Amino acid sequence: MAEVTSKKVEESNGESLFVLDAAVIGAGVAGLYQLYQLREQGLNVRAFDTAGGVGGTWYWNRYPGAKFDSASYIYQYLFSEELYKGWSWTEKFPGQPEIERWMNYVADTLDLRGDIQFDTTIESAHYDEDRGRWTLTTVAGQVIDTQFLVGCCGMLSAPMSDLFEGQSSFKGQIFHTARWPRETVELKGKRVGVIGNGATGIQVIQTIAPEVGELKVFIRTPQYVNAMNNPQYGPAEVEEYKSKFEYFQERLPNTFAGFEFNFDNGAWADQTPEQRQAVLERIWNNGSLELWIASFSEMFFDEDVNEQVSEFVRNKMRERLKDKELCDLLIPTDYGFGTHRVPLESGYLEAYHLPHVSIVSVKDNPVKRITPEGIQLTDGTTHQFDVIILATGFDAGSGALTRIDIRGRDGRSLKEQWQQDITTTMGLQICGYPNLFTTGAPLAPSAALCNMTTCLQQQTEWITECIQHLRTNDLQVIEATREAEDAWVKHHDETADATLVTKTNSWYMGSNIEGKPRRLLSYIGGVGAYRQKCTEVADQGYPGFEMH
């Protein structure tokens, strides 16, 4: 086995230089577990995060109403029974403060803090082919030398926060939801504008609507919504879910989306309309993402089935909205249910019944700029605000990595490459970038098409095992071959193109960013199937990967 570099900090021109076996970018769900595993393997490893604390998504997204859409008892690490059972959730879908506390519990229980450098942004990562090592530079000018680089940078961590001309001229307060300040923001009685009504916008809107003085929601694309059923948990419920630990360990990695439910309702074609309706009603009443990722799989492939399920959801929305005008503004008709990220909500639709809440449709009259007073639309209309909330989402999948100046072999730039075509090998490596591993990256299952703890555990475990394989066999470098990457991209595209998801414009397809190459960012062949493919590659000694 290759010798482990002893932990050292060298002095270079008076600056401390970390010489590492592995550097992990990010201290969210993926980064924490990656750090833990590589350290357990005996590597000299350190994690770096721009954030001032652990949690990633759950550190940054502290906007009003931020919460899980995964059930708390499955959004968990399942490698340790002690870790799982040492934490008790208070409800099925808890809010950000509780989730952030849980992430801190994980970091403390696994004693990770000492190996994480917070408030540190990795600005560049350059590969030196002669040395087979990466040189990282932080924004503060610190230099890190490492053999392996693991980008656990997050699928939804590069906020689209600087979208509109004139933002800095606004005289009030303006916040992107993923950069919400730690201190309390007073919204009571204020005139508030929210741009965006995706999963995040919906959580914000339903939460702040009762307290603000006036709320205008700028809507480009109406969303199908699914009412959340959020029971509180006392000792009996906690004991009940904890007793299923082993079941979850077995079950979650093998379902379509890493949740506890799967497409177990039989084939659509085999059922009468009444039977289908009964299934949909039962699942609807569960109030989770089950309707989307575990009702009828035909919904993803068959336009007719999709339309019938879409109509079921539209009817549920119609029943709750008070008039036709609101139905026209809030109920989608030009794309199918489930081809966008489906948000869960609690009272979101009813928020629009409040007299001080209104909708500004920006489908045909987009936001032009932010002025000192508020938001100006293309037709010149201006809406005045005290606070503007940008629920404008993320440069999903690729954004966190392309915001770093990553240079692989021969100085090739990942940013330039992905401006042309976003490709990876199973989302775990990229041809041309030896010893760089990624999690939550494009072309691996992610973001709501996967319960992310399930996927990120599997991906980090694969990376850990791969590095172990190299060290056991005295190998220093691994890189995905062009053939393997092309084959994965082909398989990914064939799988994706068979679904209706690729026929819709959404951030899943990169459509929220002008000029972003169009490709489904998440693998949609199923979490269980993906895991099997990854395991096969490892078991067969990493065919499709060049090692020396």
CA–CA separation, 467 and 458 (whole Å)? 14
Choose which of 107, 116, 153, 375 interacts with ligand FAD (CB under 6 A). 153
When asked if residue 61 is in the footprint of ligand FAD (CB under 6 A), the reply is yes
CA–CA separation, 321 and 327 (whole Å)? 6
When asked if residue 452 is in the footprint of ligand FAD (CB under 6 A), the reply is yes
- Helices 452-472 and 527-539 cross at an angle (nearest 10°) of 0
CA–CA separation, 105 and 85 (whole Å)? 12
123: Cβ contacts below 8 Å, ≥ 6 apart:
137, 138, 139, 404, 405
Choose which of 28, 198, 287, 338 interacts with ligand FAD (CB under 6 A). 28
φ and ψ at residue 153, rounded to 5 degrees: -85, -10
255: Cβ contacts below 8 Å, ≥ 6 apart:
261, 262, 294, 526, 527, 528
218: Cβ contacts below 8 Å, ≥ 6 apart:
193, 194, 195, 196, 360, 362, 367, 375
When asked if residue 69 is in the footprint of ligand FAD (CB under 6 A), the reply is yes
When asked if residue 70 is in the footprint of ligand FAD (CB under 6 A), the reply is yes
Span from 62-70, 160-168, 347-355, 414-422 in contact with ligand FAD (CB under 6 A) = 62-70
Choose which of 19, 20, 23, 29 interacts with ligand FAD (CB under 6 A). 29
Instruction: Name residues contacting ligand FAD, limited to 319-348 (CB under 6 A).
Output: none
Query: From the CB of 212, what's the least distance to ligand FAD, in Å?
Result: 20
What tokens appear for 177 in the block?
A: 């939801």
| Residue from 409, 530, 527 nearest 479 by CA | 409
When asked if residue 404 is in the footprint of ligand FAD (CB under 6 A), the reply is yes
| Residue from 20, 22, 27 nearest 152 by CA | 27
Number of residues that bind ligand FAD (CB under 6 A): 37
Coil/strand/helix, residue 15: strand
Choose which of 80, 88, 117, 121 interacts with ligand FAD (CB under 6 A). 121
Choose which of 20, 35, 49, 463 interacts with ligand FAD (CB under 6 A). 49
Query: From the CB of 372, what's the least distance to ligand FAD, in Å?
Result: 29
Neighbouring-strand partners of residue 372: none
Query: From the CB of 67, what's the least distance to ligand FAD, in Å?
Result: 8
Q: Which residue has the tokens 């890189």?
A: 479
Span from 65-73, 263-271, 307-315, 346-354 in contact with ligand FAD (CB under 6 A) = 65-73
Q: Which residue has the tokens 């401006």?
A: 419
Nearer to ligand FAD, 417 or 457 (CB): 457
Contact 537, 547 (CB under 8 A): no
Choose which of 64, 65, 154, 526 interacts with ligand FAD (CB under 6 A). 154
Nearer to ligand FAD, 137 or 371 (CB): 137
Contact 371, 382 (CB under 8 A): yes
Span from 6-14, 377-385, 425-433, 447-455 in contact with ligand FAD (CB under 6 A) = 447-455
Query: From the CB of 205, what's the least distance to ligand FAD, in Å?
Result: 14
Query: From the CB of 60, what's the least distance to ligand FAD, in Å?
Result: 6
The residues that touch ligand FAD, with contacts defined as CB under 6 A, are: 25-31, 48-51, 56-57, 59, 61, 66, 68-70, 75, 121-122, 152-157, 200, 400, 404, 439-440, 447, 451-452, 456
